[in-house]
Structure 1
């Protein structure tokens, strides 16, 4: 355990378009103390082997609605819900209900729809005056429309819930009053939506399926859990993928050598998508806050003390040289890329296959449709959405 001053976290995004420099040297220690936006401190687990193992360790609890646990932010109770049990066996039961909607087969059935949406968005982009802002043209509407299709949400509601979700995920960007207005507004929207879906069930959408579970078997899903999981799936299926599409594309357009490699060999699209995910260009690990129920020994013998607030650092794990050769180099030819961006074990992201599919469709279709596409401004001029849960680029102007 270090006695030096805590390191401010999330790390600053320097240098531009590369893995944050602050990650270099972190792996010399298995635990690093960090200070969060709230001013609270937590212990960050840095090494791949420890992070992967601890994702499945029952001695780390996701139930962080305790006064002794660090808060991410002073103004927003992100991921803190005392009415939701995030640990086994309850979480395992709930996860089983939800993962049925995210089977590989079901995601592949959505691929033609994602392709159709992407083609239509790029048609509009081609007709628009240049430069075009890529987030508004493609990165945000694509995952919104796909998650609407999967959940059974009216697509005309997308602008409304986009604003509410953005406020819900504020870390330091919005005032406490604005955060609360968005949190309340999002919950009220879902109450109305679920009431509507009860009266107008869909043929094969996830919200209708969850309502059916709730109404036919009260012991499996409470009314509150129904609303909570609908909100969680809406957020997880939209905002992270949207941020990744925009920001990863910006990296590829900044690195024209990488773009050209893909255009010369389209089979590189999947590995390029994985490498963009590994380098964690758009986010941080503040969503992985845990609480240590017992002393836990790490692989090097270091003890993670009982009662600690713990961050399982996906971005640090993804740059561990014990696992990834030359980890700070973006290598789209990397074949062994078992990154931790989607977590692991019982908390592995249920929407990982959906995100991968959308990223692959968006990347390949964009680079095929606009072979000469490039950033319309210098990379250093791209603004980041600092102060939100996702810190990807808030604007990505492009031209061709």
Structure 2
């Protein structure tokens, strides 16, 4: 492959139940030219060491409102906001204010709630018809209910906000008119919710962020409060929901692995981490950056100033220089410093929440349904292509 013939990106999910085969051999070069769904070109950085370093490199800007920057989608300016500064030092200071409200103690207190919700959802699945769609029975409602609880979103609004978020995250899935309606609808909904919380604050995260905004010398602007609320809501729902459904489908497909963790639930934590490493349910389009200066990579090649850059977490997670036998799902892997949650100044603030939900969902499902299995051949599962998340659209299971 040469720079004149960029490969289409995101890579096709083949084999269906494994990381894309296109990742094999990709690490021989530190960079690969790719063509995005918009038709624009970018450079994909492939190696773990480079990706990890560049995720914290101030020479790569996350502010994408500038001439010549590649677009992810021609129909959706996803994550592009001219009023929101994504770069340090401004972003670093604002992130610190937000993480003050997003405490480990708050996540710890949510664990019993997540367990209770999981138990209720699986009670309903057990008493319902077979087969059941695991996505609708567990994978999607659990993160929605937990993030609604955390942020203080009324539970009755969950289906409404799920539809708005799905539209917001469209890359090629929906026409531009529908994408625009969802983006505007989500922004309006969150604005109304923030005002309601401001008038009647509670113990939820949105109320805490409003307090940061209103009482901390205005260092968090109203627009930034809105964007952070939107980001936490989306990240706390969509990625975790897709990972629960798709990761479980992969585990059920691999009966040898499923039986090991079912018979020894102490393996749940390492299983969750390995599925996070190998079963990314989206591409790295969210890591789009713009090179402010020339940057040298590990093979001596240079990202020229003005280049649009993608930091490939899925490629980093399969780098043989870091992970032994990287294309094998090893649920007993102990050295698993994957980058699914990113690294550095943009490390996912909700990583602890996602891990907690994934562990609760996996352990409870296997304990309650030791005979659970896919209700259709794995080859019949379909990924929901065209969106920011590309997990399986349905995961039919029986028991």
Does the TM-score normalized on the shorter chain lie above 0.5? yes
The corresponding residue for 2:22 is 22
- 2:241 matched residue in structure 1: 242
Q: Which moved more, 1:168-177 or 1:298-307?
A: 298-307
Give the secondary structure class of the aligned counterpart of 1:238: helix
Q: Report the Cα distance in structure 1 between the residues aligned to 2:309 and 2:188, rounded to whole angstroms.
A: 32
1:61-91 CA distances to partner (integer Å, 9 max, x unpaired)?
A: 0001112100000000001111000000111
- Displacement, 1:93? 1.1
Distance 1:195 1:68 in 2: 37
Runs of 4+ aligned residues of structure 1 deviating over 4 Å after TM superposition are none
The Cα of 1:104 is off from its aligned counterpart by 2.9
Deviation at 1:299, TM superposition (A): 2.0
What secondary structure sits across from 1:44 in the alignment? strand
Check whether the contact 2:289–2:309 (CA below 8 A) recurs between aligned residues.
Answer: yes
After TM superposition, the structure 1 = structure 2 runs for residues 316-395 of structure 1, keeping only pairs within 5 Å, are 316-395=315-394
2-structure distance, mates of 1:120, 1:102: 26
After TM superposition, give the deviation of residue 341 of structure 1 in Å. Answer: 0.5
Partner of 2:165: 165
* Corresponding residue SS for 1:319: coil
Q: How many residue pairs align between the two structures?
A: 399
RMSD: 1.1
Q: Deviations over 1:4-37 (max 9, x none)?
A: 5101000000012011100011101001000000
Distance 2:177 2:16 in 1: 33
CA contact (8 A) 2:291 2:304 kept: yes
Whole-angstrom CA distance in 2 between matches of 1:369 and 1:351: 27
Provide TM-score, normalisation by structure 1: 0.98
Q: SS at 2:44's partner residue?
A: strand
The range that moved more, 22-31 or 215-224, is 215-224
Is 2:303 the counterpart of 1:309?
A: no
Aligned counterparts of 2:180 and 2:155: Cα–Cα separation in 1: 25
Q: Is the 2:101–2:208 contact (alpha carbons within 8 Å) kept by the matching residues of 1? A: no
Structure 1 residue matching 2:64: 3-state secondary structure: coil
Between the aligned partners of 1:351 and 1:275, the Cα distance in structure 2 is 18
Alignment of structure 1 residues 41-60 onto 2, 5 Å = 41-60=41-60
User: Residue in 1 aligned with 2:174?
Assistant: 174
> Matches of residues 209-224 of structure 1 in structure 2 within 5 Å?
209-224=208-223
